[in-house]
Amino acid sequence: MTQSNSYEPMLDNKSPNRNFSPITTELDLDDKLMVGGCTLTDLAKKYGTPLYVLDEETIRVACKSYCNALKKYYQGESLALYASKANSSLVISNIIASEGMGLDAVSEGELLTGLKGGVSSEKIVLHGNNKSDNELLLAYHNDVTIVIDNQHDIDRLDSLLTGEMPPANLMLRFTPGIECHTHEYIKTGHLDSKFGFDLDQLETVLIQLKKADWANLRGLHAHIGSQIFELEPHRDLAEVMAESLKLARDIGHPIKDINVGGGLGIRYVDSDDPPSIDEWVQIVSESIMQSCRSRNLELPRLMCEPGRSLIATAGITLYRIGSRKEIPGVRTYVSIDGGMSDNPRPITYESSYTACLADKPLDPKEELVTVAGKHCESGDVLLKDVSLPSLSDDDVLVVFGTGAYNASMSSNYNRIPRPAAVIVKKGQADLVLRRERPEDLLQYDVIPERFKALG
Protein backbone atom coordinates (compact mmCIF):
# COMPACT_ATOMS: atom_id res chain seq x y z
CA MET A 1 0.00 0.00 0.00
CA THR A 2 1.45 3.33 -1.07
CA GLN A 3 0.70 5.99 1.48
CA SER A 4 1.18 9.75 1.56
CA ASN A 5 1.80 11.69 4.70
CA SER A 6 2.13 15.43 4.24
CA TYR A 7 -0.21 18.37 4.19
CA GLU A 8 -0.39 19.88 0.71
CA PRO A 9 -2.34 22.88 -0.62
CA MET A 10 -5.61 22.09 -2.36
CA LEU A 11 -5.47 21.64 -6.11
CA ASP A 12 -9.07 22.24 -7.12
CA ASN A 13 -11.53 24.23 -5.04
CA LYS A 14 -14.34 23.51 -7.51
CA SER A 15 -13.95 19.74 -7.56
CA PRO A 16 -13.24 18.46 -4.04
CA ASN A 17 -12.75 14.86 -5.24
CA ARG A 18 -9.36 15.88 -6.67
CA ASN A 19 -7.96 17.01 -3.30
CA PHE A 20 -6.55 15.13 -0.34
CA SER A 21 -8.12 17.46 2.18
CA PRO A 22 -11.26 19.56 2.65
CA ILE A 23 -11.23 22.81 0.66
CA THR A 24 -11.14 24.93 3.85
CA THR A 25 -7.93 23.30 5.12
CA GLU A 26 -5.36 25.89 6.20
CA LEU A 27 -2.66 26.59 8.78
CA ASP A 28 -3.08 28.90 11.76
CA LEU A 29 -0.40 31.34 12.92
CA ASP A 30 1.42 28.51 14.71
CA ASP A 31 1.32 26.26 11.62
CA LYS A 32 -1.30 24.03 13.18
CA LEU A 33 -3.85 22.45 10.87
CA MET A 34 -7.34 23.94 10.65
CA VAL A 35 -10.48 22.83 8.81
CA GLY A 36 -13.59 24.97 8.56
CA GLY A 37 -11.87 27.64 10.66
CA CYS A 38 -11.41 25.19 13.56
CA THR A 39 -8.03 24.06 14.89
CA LEU A 40 -8.04 20.29 14.76
CA THR A 41 -6.24 19.72 18.06
CA ASP A 42 -8.83 21.92 19.76
CA LEU A 43 -11.59 19.72 18.31
CA ALA A 44 -9.79 16.60 19.52
CA LYS A 45 -9.48 18.06 23.01
CA LYS A 46 -13.12 19.16 23.20
CA TYR A 47 -14.85 16.17 21.60
CA GLY A 48 -12.33 13.37 22.18
CA THR A 49 -10.84 10.91 19.71
CA PRO A 50 -11.36 9.10 17.44
CA LEU A 51 -13.39 11.92 15.95
CA TYR A 52 -15.03 12.24 12.55
CA VAL A 53 -14.89 15.82 11.25
CA LEU A 54 -17.01 16.96 8.31
CA ASP A 55 -16.39 20.21 6.46
CA GLU A 56 -19.74 21.72 5.46
CA GLU A 57 -18.27 23.94 2.76
CA THR A 58 -16.66 21.01 0.95
CA ILE A 59 -19.96 19.10 0.89
CA ARG A 60 -21.84 22.10 -0.46
CA VAL A 61 -19.23 22.82 -3.14
CA ALA A 62 -19.41 19.21 -4.31
CA CYS A 63 -23.22 19.37 -4.45
CA LYS A 64 -23.10 22.59 -6.45
CA SER A 65 -20.45 21.15 -8.76
CA TYR A 66 -22.74 18.28 -9.76
CA CYS A 67 -25.91 20.37 -10.05
CA ASN A 68 -24.26 23.21 -11.98
CA ALA A 69 -22.44 20.88 -14.35
CA LEU A 70 -25.67 19.04 -15.18
CA LYS A 71 -27.37 22.34 -15.98
CA LYS A 72 -24.36 23.42 -18.04
CA TYR A 73 -23.90 20.32 -20.17
CA TYR A 74 -27.22 18.48 -20.32
CA GLN A 75 -29.95 20.00 -22.49
CA GLY A 76 -32.81 18.18 -20.80
CA GLU A 77 -33.98 17.93 -17.21
CA SER A 78 -31.56 16.49 -14.67
CA LEU A 79 -31.32 15.46 -11.03
CA ALA A 80 -28.30 14.48 -8.96
CA LEU A 81 -29.01 12.01 -6.15
CA TYR A 82 -26.68 11.51 -3.19
CA ALA A 83 -25.75 7.85 -2.72
CA SER A 84 -26.35 7.87 1.02
CA LYS A 85 -24.68 4.51 1.64
CA ALA A 86 -21.43 6.50 1.60
CA ASN A 87 -22.37 8.32 4.80
CA SER A 88 -25.94 8.45 6.02
CA SER A 89 -27.01 11.01 8.62
CA LEU A 90 -29.71 13.57 9.25
CA VAL A 91 -27.35 16.50 8.81
CA ILE A 92 -25.95 15.27 5.49
CA SER A 93 -29.48 14.60 4.24
CA ASN A 94 -30.44 18.14 5.27
CA ILE A 95 -27.47 19.66 3.43
CA ILE A 96 -28.01 17.82 0.17
CA ALA A 97 -31.74 18.62 0.27
CA SER A 98 -30.98 22.32 0.74
CA GLU A 99 -28.70 22.14 -2.31
CA GLY A 100 -31.54 20.80 -4.45
CA MET A 101 -30.31 17.22 -4.66
CA GLY A 102 -32.16 13.97 -4.19
CA LEU A 103 -31.04 10.80 -2.42
CA ASP A 104 -30.72 7.11 -3.04
CA ALA A 105 -31.28 4.69 -0.17
CA VAL A 106 -30.72 0.96 0.09
CA SER A 107 -32.49 0.18 3.37
CA GLU A 108 -35.32 1.24 5.64
CA GLY A 109 -32.81 3.05 7.85
CA GLU A 110 -31.28 5.06 5.00
CA LEU A 111 -34.74 5.83 3.64
CA LEU A 112 -35.98 7.10 7.02
CA THR A 113 -32.82 9.16 7.45
CA GLY A 114 -33.36 10.82 4.09
CA LEU A 115 -37.02 11.54 4.75
CA LYS A 116 -36.46 12.80 8.30
CA GLY A 117 -33.50 14.84 7.06
CA GLY A 118 -35.75 16.81 4.74
CA VAL A 119 -35.24 15.22 1.32
CA SER A 120 -38.41 15.38 -0.78
CA SER A 121 -39.84 11.92 -1.30
CA GLU A 122 -40.20 12.46 -5.05
CA LYS A 123 -36.41 12.95 -5.16
CA ILE A 124 -35.63 9.65 -3.40
CA VAL A 125 -35.09 6.23 -4.95
CA LEU A 126 -34.91 2.93 -3.05
CA HIS A 127 -32.33 0.42 -4.24
CA GLY A 128 -31.52 -3.05 -2.92
CA ASN A 129 -31.18 -6.61 -4.17
CA ASN A 130 -33.28 -8.16 -1.39
CA LYS A 131 -35.81 -5.59 -0.20
CA SER A 132 -38.09 -6.53 2.68
CA ASP A 133 -41.85 -6.02 2.60
CA ASN A 134 -41.42 -3.25 5.17
CA GLU A 135 -38.92 -1.44 2.95
CA LEU A 136 -41.12 -1.77 -0.12
CA LEU A 137 -44.21 -0.53 1.71
CA LEU A 138 -42.37 2.34 3.40
CA ALA A 139 -41.16 3.51 0.00
CA TYR A 140 -44.56 3.02 -1.63
CA HIS A 141 -46.55 4.88 1.03
CA ASN A 142 -44.10 7.80 0.89
CA ASP A 143 -44.21 8.06 -2.92
CA VAL A 144 -40.56 7.05 -3.18
CA THR A 145 -39.45 5.54 -6.49
CA ILE A 146 -38.69 1.83 -6.09
CA VAL A 147 -35.82 0.43 -8.14
CA ILE A 148 -36.82 -3.02 -9.39
CA ASP A 149 -33.68 -5.12 -9.06
CA ASN A 150 -34.91 -8.67 -9.69
CA GLN A 151 -37.91 -10.95 -10.05
CA HIS A 152 -38.29 -11.12 -6.28
CA ASP A 153 -39.06 -7.38 -6.20
CA ILE A 154 -41.73 -7.88 -8.87
CA ASP A 155 -43.29 -10.83 -7.08
CA ARG A 156 -43.38 -9.06 -3.70
CA LEU A 157 -44.93 -5.87 -5.13
CA ASP A 158 -47.46 -7.93 -7.07
CA SER A 159 -48.48 -9.51 -3.76
CA LEU A 160 -48.43 -6.31 -1.68
CA LEU A 161 -50.15 -3.86 -4.04
CA THR A 162 -53.68 -5.15 -4.40
CA GLY A 163 -57.20 -3.84 -4.95
CA GLU A 164 -57.64 -0.15 -5.61
CA MET A 165 -54.13 0.89 -4.54
CA PRO A 166 -52.55 3.34 -7.01
CA PRO A 167 -49.59 2.07 -9.04
CA ALA A 168 -46.06 2.32 -7.67
CA ASN A 169 -43.47 4.54 -9.31
CA LEU A 170 -40.70 2.23 -10.49
CA MET A 171 -37.24 2.25 -12.02
CA LEU A 172 -35.75 -0.90 -13.55
CA ARG A 173 -32.13 -1.79 -12.87
CA PHE A 174 -30.13 -3.86 -15.33
CA THR A 175 -26.52 -4.90 -15.73
CA PRO A 176 -25.04 -3.12 -18.77
CA GLY A 177 -22.08 -5.47 -19.27
CA ILE A 178 -19.46 -2.80 -18.59
CA GLU A 179 -17.03 -3.13 -15.72
CA CYS A 180 -14.62 -0.38 -14.69
CA HIS A 181 -11.25 -0.68 -13.01
CA THR A 182 -8.70 1.94 -12.15
CA HIS A 183 -6.79 1.70 -15.41
CA GLU A 184 -8.83 -0.60 -17.62
CA TYR A 185 -12.35 -1.73 -18.31
CA ILE A 186 -13.86 -4.78 -19.91
CA LYS A 187 -17.09 -5.17 -21.79
CA THR A 188 -18.87 -8.50 -21.46
CA GLY A 189 -22.23 -9.96 -22.39
CA HIS A 190 -23.08 -10.81 -18.80
CA LEU A 191 -21.34 -9.08 -15.91
CA ASP A 192 -20.99 -11.18 -12.77
CA SER A 193 -23.01 -9.06 -10.35
CA LYS A 194 -25.68 -9.65 -7.74
CA PHE A 195 -27.48 -6.48 -8.86
CA GLY A 196 -29.98 -6.00 -11.66
CA PHE A 197 -31.38 -7.97 -14.57
CA ASP A 198 -29.12 -9.16 -17.35
CA LEU A 199 -29.53 -7.40 -20.67
CA ASP A 200 -30.98 -10.51 -22.30
CA GLN A 201 -33.76 -10.52 -19.66
CA LEU A 202 -34.72 -6.91 -20.23
CA GLU A 203 -37.39 -7.33 -22.91
CA THR A 204 -39.16 -10.12 -21.02
CA VAL A 205 -39.25 -8.08 -17.81
CA LEU A 206 -40.46 -4.96 -19.61
CA ILE A 207 -43.34 -6.92 -21.13
CA GLN A 208 -44.19 -8.43 -17.74
CA LEU A 209 -44.28 -5.00 -16.07
CA LYS A 210 -46.42 -3.59 -18.87
CA LYS A 211 -49.11 -6.13 -17.99
CA ALA A 212 -49.01 -5.29 -14.25
CA ASP A 213 -51.64 -2.73 -13.29
CA TRP A 214 -49.70 -1.86 -10.10
CA ALA A 215 -46.57 -0.85 -12.03
CA ASN A 216 -45.74 2.63 -13.32
CA LEU A 217 -42.29 2.15 -14.84
CA ARG A 218 -40.77 5.59 -15.24
CA GLY A 219 -37.04 4.99 -15.36
CA LEU A 220 -34.06 2.78 -16.18
CA HIS A 221 -30.95 2.40 -14.05
CA ALA A 222 -27.46 1.00 -14.64
CA HIS A 223 -24.17 1.36 -12.77
CA ILE A 224 -20.67 0.50 -13.98
CA GLY A 225 -18.42 0.56 -10.93
CA SER A 226 -16.81 2.49 -8.11
CA GLN A 227 -13.71 4.67 -7.63
CA ILE A 228 -13.63 5.16 -11.41
CA PHE A 229 -10.89 7.26 -13.01
CA GLU A 230 -11.76 6.64 -16.67
CA LEU A 231 -14.29 8.56 -18.70
CA GLU A 232 -14.51 6.51 -21.90
CA PRO A 233 -16.63 3.65 -20.44
CA HIS A 234 -19.47 6.12 -19.97
CA ARG A 235 -19.77 6.43 -23.76
CA ASP A 236 -20.41 2.70 -23.90
CA LEU A 237 -22.91 2.98 -21.06
CA ALA A 238 -24.78 5.73 -22.90
CA GLU A 239 -25.20 3.51 -25.94
CA VAL A 240 -26.58 0.67 -23.85
CA MET A 241 -28.89 3.00 -21.92
CA ALA A 242 -30.26 4.64 -25.06
CA GLU A 243 -30.93 1.31 -26.74
CA SER A 244 -32.72 0.10 -23.61
CA LEU A 245 -34.70 3.33 -23.44
CA LYS A 246 -35.87 2.82 -27.01
CA LEU A 247 -36.91 -0.76 -26.25
CA ALA A 248 -38.86 0.28 -23.14
CA ARG A 249 -40.67 3.09 -24.91
CA ASP A 250 -41.48 0.84 -27.88
CA ILE A 251 -43.11 -1.62 -25.47
CA GLY A 252 -45.22 1.22 -24.11
CA HIS A 253 -43.56 2.34 -20.90
CA PRO A 254 -43.59 6.11 -20.29
CA ILE A 255 -39.89 6.22 -19.44
CA LYS A 256 -38.80 9.72 -18.45
CA ASP A 257 -35.71 8.99 -16.33
CA ILE A 258 -32.29 7.54 -17.13
CA ASN A 259 -30.09 6.91 -14.08
CA VAL A 260 -26.40 6.27 -14.85
CA GLY A 261 -25.39 5.60 -11.24
CA GLY A 262 -22.22 7.11 -9.79
CA GLY A 263 -18.73 5.82 -9.21
CA LEU A 264 -16.46 8.83 -9.85
CA GLY A 265 -13.24 8.33 -7.87
CA ILE A 266 -11.40 10.57 -5.44
CA ARG A 267 -7.77 11.28 -4.61
CA TYR A 268 -6.80 9.21 -1.60
CA VAL A 269 -3.04 9.18 -2.24
CA ASP A 270 -0.61 11.08 -4.43
CA SER A 271 -0.77 8.61 -7.31
CA ASP A 272 -4.56 8.95 -7.68
CA ASP A 273 -5.66 11.24 -10.50
CA PRO A 274 -9.45 11.26 -10.84
CA PRO A 275 -11.31 13.42 -13.37
CA SER A 276 -13.05 16.50 -12.02
CA ILE A 277 -16.77 16.44 -11.34
CA ASP A 278 -17.23 18.85 -14.25
CA GLU A 279 -15.35 16.54 -16.65
CA TRP A 280 -17.33 13.50 -15.49
CA VAL A 281 -20.70 15.20 -15.89
CA GLN A 282 -19.72 16.58 -19.28
CA ILE A 283 -18.82 13.21 -20.77
CA VAL A 284 -21.91 11.56 -19.27
CA SER A 285 -24.22 14.32 -20.50
CA GLU A 286 -22.81 14.54 -24.01
CA SER A 287 -22.79 10.77 -24.40
CA ILE A 288 -26.42 10.38 -23.35
CA MET A 289 -27.53 13.23 -25.62
CA GLN A 290 -25.63 11.87 -28.61
CA SER A 291 -26.88 8.31 -28.09
CA CYS A 292 -30.50 9.42 -27.72
CA ARG A 293 -30.46 11.77 -30.69
CA SER A 294 -28.91 9.17 -32.97
CA ARG A 295 -32.03 7.07 -32.24
CA ASN A 296 -34.47 10.01 -32.52
CA LEU A 297 -35.35 9.68 -28.84
CA GLU A 298 -36.70 12.54 -26.78
CA LEU A 299 -34.16 13.34 -24.07
CA PRO A 300 -35.01 11.74 -20.72
CA ARG A 301 -34.32 13.34 -17.37
CA LEU A 302 -30.70 12.49 -16.59
CA MET A 303 -30.04 11.23 -13.08
CA CYS A 304 -26.76 10.29 -11.42
CA GLU A 305 -25.85 9.03 -7.96
CA PRO A 306 -22.56 10.45 -6.59
CA GLY A 307 -21.55 9.19 -3.16
CA ARG A 308 -17.82 8.92 -2.50
CA SER A 309 -16.94 11.84 -4.81
CA LEU A 310 -19.39 14.08 -2.98
CA ILE A 311 -18.63 13.30 0.66
CA ALA A 312 -15.25 11.55 1.05
CA THR A 313 -12.91 14.53 0.87
CA ALA A 314 -15.18 16.54 3.18
CA GLY A 315 -14.33 14.12 5.98
CA ILE A 316 -11.24 13.58 8.12
CA THR A 317 -10.68 11.43 11.19
CA LEU A 318 -8.64 12.47 14.22
CA TYR A 319 -6.79 9.94 16.40
CA ARG A 320 -4.33 10.13 19.27
CA ILE A 321 -0.99 8.37 19.12
CA GLY A 322 -0.45 5.79 21.87
CA SER A 323 1.86 2.81 22.30
CA ARG A 324 4.96 1.97 20.24
CA LYS A 325 6.66 -1.31 19.32
CA GLU A 326 10.01 -1.38 17.55
CA ILE A 327 11.14 -4.54 15.77
CA PRO A 328 14.80 -3.88 14.80
CA GLY A 329 15.38 -4.34 11.09
CA VAL A 330 11.71 -5.02 10.44
CA ARG A 331 9.21 -2.32 11.39
CA THR A 332 8.15 0.21 13.99
CA TYR A 333 4.49 0.10 15.02
CA VAL A 334 2.71 3.05 16.59
CA SER A 335 -0.84 2.54 17.76
CA ILE A 336 -3.82 4.85 17.72
CA ASP A 337 -6.99 4.92 19.80
CA GLY A 338 -9.16 3.67 16.94
CA GLY A 339 -8.77 1.43 13.91
CA MET A 340 -10.83 -1.08 12.01
CA SER A 341 -14.06 -0.41 13.91
CA ASP A 342 -14.15 3.24 12.76
CA ASN A 343 -12.42 2.60 9.39
CA PRO A 344 -12.74 -0.98 8.09
CA ARG A 345 -11.57 -0.13 4.57
CA PRO A 346 -7.81 -0.86 5.00
CA ILE A 347 -8.35 -4.36 6.42
CA THR A 348 -11.20 -5.04 3.98
CA TYR A 349 -9.87 -3.57 0.75
CA GLU A 350 -6.21 -2.76 1.53
CA SER A 351 -7.24 0.86 1.06
CA SER A 352 -4.65 3.63 1.32
CA TYR A 353 -4.90 7.10 2.82
CA THR A 354 -2.98 10.34 3.24
CA ALA A 355 -2.18 11.45 6.80
CA CYS A 356 -0.21 14.00 8.79
CA LEU A 357 0.12 15.32 12.34
CA ALA A 358 -2.34 18.05 13.27
CA ASP A 359 0.24 20.24 15.02
CA LYS A 360 3.25 19.32 12.84
CA PRO A 361 1.98 19.27 9.26
CA LEU A 362 5.12 20.93 7.89
CA ASP A 363 7.74 19.24 10.09
CA PRO A 364 10.38 17.09 8.40
CA LYS A 365 9.60 13.38 8.22
CA GLU A 366 11.98 11.61 10.60
CA GLU A 367 10.27 8.29 11.26
CA LEU A 368 9.12 5.41 9.06
CA VAL A 369 6.26 3.79 10.96
CA THR A 370 3.22 1.60 10.53
CA VAL A 371 0.13 3.00 12.20
CA ALA A 372 -1.83 0.19 13.85
CA GLY A 373 -5.32 0.14 15.31
CA LYS A 374 -6.14 -0.98 18.84
CA HIS A 375 -8.28 -3.98 17.89
CA CYS A 376 -7.40 -7.58 18.54
CA GLU A 377 -6.47 -8.33 14.92
CA SER A 378 -2.98 -8.42 13.42
CA GLY A 379 -4.45 -7.01 10.22
CA ASP A 380 -5.80 -3.92 11.97
CA VAL A 381 -3.36 -1.56 10.26
CA LEU A 382 -4.49 1.90 9.19
CA LEU A 383 -1.31 3.13 7.45
CA LYS A 384 1.59 0.92 6.43
CA ASP A 385 5.18 2.19 6.22
CA VAL A 386 4.56 5.94 6.26
CA SER A 387 7.04 8.70 6.98
CA LEU A 388 5.95 11.06 9.74
CA PRO A 389 7.59 13.66 11.98
CA SER A 390 8.98 12.48 15.30
CA LEU A 391 5.99 11.12 17.21
CA SER A 392 5.06 11.70 20.82
CA ASP A 393 2.32 10.27 23.01
CA ASP A 394 -0.97 12.10 22.50
CA ASP A 395 0.00 13.62 19.16
CA VAL A 396 -3.13 14.03 17.04
CA LEU A 397 -3.00 12.13 13.75
CA VAL A 398 -5.14 13.45 10.88
CA VAL A 399 -6.31 10.96 8.24
CA PHE A 400 -7.80 12.57 5.14
CA GLY A 401 -10.53 11.36 2.81
CA THR A 402 -12.55 9.48 5.43
CA GLY A 403 -15.97 11.01 4.76
CA ALA A 404 -17.16 8.01 2.75
CA TYR A 405 -17.57 4.43 3.95
CA ASN A 406 -15.97 5.01 7.34
CA ALA A 407 -18.84 6.02 9.62
CA SER A 408 -21.31 4.09 7.46
CA MET A 409 -19.27 0.86 7.67
CA SER A 410 -18.18 1.27 11.30
CA SER A 411 -18.81 -1.42 13.89
CA ASN A 412 -18.52 -2.22 17.58
CA TYR A 413 -15.86 -4.89 17.14
CA ASN A 414 -14.23 -5.65 20.50
CA ARG A 415 -17.21 -3.76 21.96
CA ILE A 416 -15.54 -0.46 21.19
CA PRO A 417 -18.00 2.45 20.97
CA ARG A 418 -18.35 4.32 17.68
CA PRO A 419 -16.81 7.81 17.45
CA ALA A 420 -18.56 11.14 17.64
CA ALA A 421 -18.88 13.35 14.55
CA VAL A 422 -18.84 17.12 14.23
CA ILE A 423 -19.49 19.44 11.31
CA VAL A 424 -17.42 22.60 10.96
CA LYS A 425 -17.92 25.91 9.18
CA LYS A 426 -16.39 29.37 9.67
CA GLY A 427 -14.92 28.56 13.06
CA GLN A 428 -18.01 26.86 14.46
CA ALA A 429 -18.13 23.16 15.29
CA ASP A 430 -21.43 21.40 15.91
CA LEU A 431 -21.97 17.89 17.18
CA VAL A 432 -23.93 15.83 14.63
CA LEU A 433 -23.35 12.34 16.03
CA ARG A 434 -22.93 11.62 19.73
CA ARG A 435 -20.10 9.40 20.84
CA GLU A 436 -21.30 5.99 21.96
CA ARG A 437 -20.54 4.97 25.54
CA PRO A 438 -19.57 1.46 26.62
CA GLU A 439 -22.87 1.14 28.51
CA ASP A 440 -24.76 1.99 25.29
CA LEU A 441 -23.49 -1.26 23.80
CA LEU A 442 -25.43 -3.25 26.41
CA GLN A 443 -28.85 -1.74 25.75
CA TYR A 444 -30.02 -4.48 23.39
CA ASP A 445 -28.55 -7.42 25.33
CA VAL A 446 -31.15 -9.63 27.02
CA ILE A 447 -30.51 -12.21 29.73
CA PRO A 448 -33.31 -14.82 29.66
CA GLU A 449 -35.13 -15.45 32.94
CA ARG A 450 -33.86 -19.02 33.14
CA PHE A 451 -30.27 -17.71 33.29
CA LYS A 452 -31.20 -15.28 36.06
CA ALA A 453 -32.62 -18.18 38.03
CA LEU A 454 -29.21 -19.84 37.94
CA GLY A 455 -27.73 -16.95 39.82
pLDDT of residue 182 exceeding 70, the answer is: no
Task: Supply the pLDDT for residue 7.
Answer: 59
**Average model confidence (pLDDT) across the chain:** 93
Answer yes or no: are the C-beta atoms of 33 and 22 closer than 8 Å.
Answer: no
Q: Is 283 helix (H, G, I), strand (E, B) or coil?
A: helix
Task: Supply the pLDDT for residue 8.
Answer: 60
* Catalytic annotation present for 376: yes
Answer yes or no: are the C-beta atoms of 302 and 258 closer than 8 Å.
Answer: yes
Answer yes or no: are the C-beta atoms of 358 and 41 closer than 8 Å.
Answer: yes
Q: How far is CA 210 from CA 42, 215, 218, 254, 353, in A?
A: 60, 7, 11, 10, 48
> How remote is the C-alpha of 79 from its chain's centroid?
17
Model confidence, pTM:
0.94
Q: Which residues pair with 175 in a beta bridge?
A: 198
Task: Supply the pLDDT for residue 285.
Answer: 98
pLDDT of residue 411 exceeding 90, the answer is: yes
- Mean pLDDT computed over 360-379: 95
Q: List the catalytic residue out of 67, 304, 356, 376.
A: 376
Q: How many C-beta atoms surround the C-beta of residue 56 within 10 A?
A: 21
Domain boundaries, the chain: 16-55+314-442, 127-306
- Mean pLDDT computed over 158-169: 94
127-306 adopts what CATH topology?
A: TIM Barrel (3.20.20)
pLDDT of residue 269 exceeding 90, the answer is: yes
pLDDT of residue 196 exceeding 90, the answer is: no
Task: Band the pLDDT of 190: cuts 50, 70, 90.
Answer: very low
pLDDT of residue 148 exceeding 80, the answer is: yes
Which is it for strands 420-425 and 51-55: parallel, antiparallel or unpaired? parallel
Answer yes or no: are the C-beta atoms of 43 and 78 closer than 8 Å.
Answer: no
Structural element, H or E, at residue 432: strand 428-433
- Mean pLDDT computed over 298-315: 98
CATH number of the structural domain 16-55+314-442: 2.40.37.10
Strands (E), 56-167: 78-83, 102-105, 124-126, 145-148
pLDDT of residue 184 exceeding 50, the answer is: no
